[in-house]
Amino acid sequence: MVRKLPIVGVFGAGTPLTADRKRLAQAVGTMVARLGAHLLTGGGYGVMEAAAEGFVVEPRRAGWSIGIVPRHPDGPFDQPHRDADGQTYPNRFVEIPIFTPLPPRVADWTTEPARNHVNVLSADAIVALPGGPGTHNELDMAAEYRGERTKPKAERRTVLVGPPDDFLPEHHELFVHAATPAEAEKHLRRLLAMRGLAPETVS
């Protein structure tokens, strides 16, 4: 039997988080699990690890924790990326690691491929938490591909979650902002149903 679930990407800072930010990322991961979808992250630390942890601890989840692992920018194709503290990707909450020969991001992403392309192009819906240049790059890509700019803001597949001041003005103009993971869940359920990707119900 073919069984397909939607894939929800969660993007955000790959650096150490405050306790509040970690709880927020974990809550988003748990929300994705209860949504009945697969979780997709960049396989690293910070938001990626916390969201994956929140996802896998949900006992009734239907999906899997997927991590798209970049190569180390200065290493061979088969050398996984490391964070600033030397931790090798993927984090321990990734159940299905996809190892790529791609760097995390590139300067000219409109002409050169990177791991972030795989993240953005593989996700049916995206939840973005506050982050740095890597997250900004993913949000720029999310706006550019799949004809998103031609859709009304409320119908675009990306939702921002977290303190409003932590997102760039241009990303606020492009995407809906949700004050809480619960509010983001409502947006995602409506969006996925609109696109014929209704997730499994997790009670």
Residue range 92-109, pLDDT digits in tens: 999 999 999 999 999 999
Question: At 81, phi and psi to the nearest 5?
Answer: -65, 155
Residues 6+ apart with CB under 8 A from 189: 35, 199
* Pairing of β 176-178 and β 38-41: unpaired
Pick the CATH number of 7-194 from 3.40.50.450, 3.30.200.20, 3.30.450.20, 3.20.20.20: 3.40.50.450
pLDDT category of residue 3 using cuts at 50, 70 and 90: confident
Task: Please name the amino acid found at residue 13.
Answer: A
Residue ranges per structural domain of the chain: 7-194
Q: pLDDT value at position 129? A: 98
In order of 71, 105, 145, the CA distances from 110 in angstroms are 19, 11, 10
Q: pLDDT value at position 197? A: 86
In order, the DSSP letters of 96-114 are EEEE-SS-S--S-TTTS--
At 27-79, the pLDDT tens digits run: 999 999 999 999 999 999 999 999 999 999 999 999 999 999 999 999 999 99
For the entire predicted model, the pTM comes to: 0.96
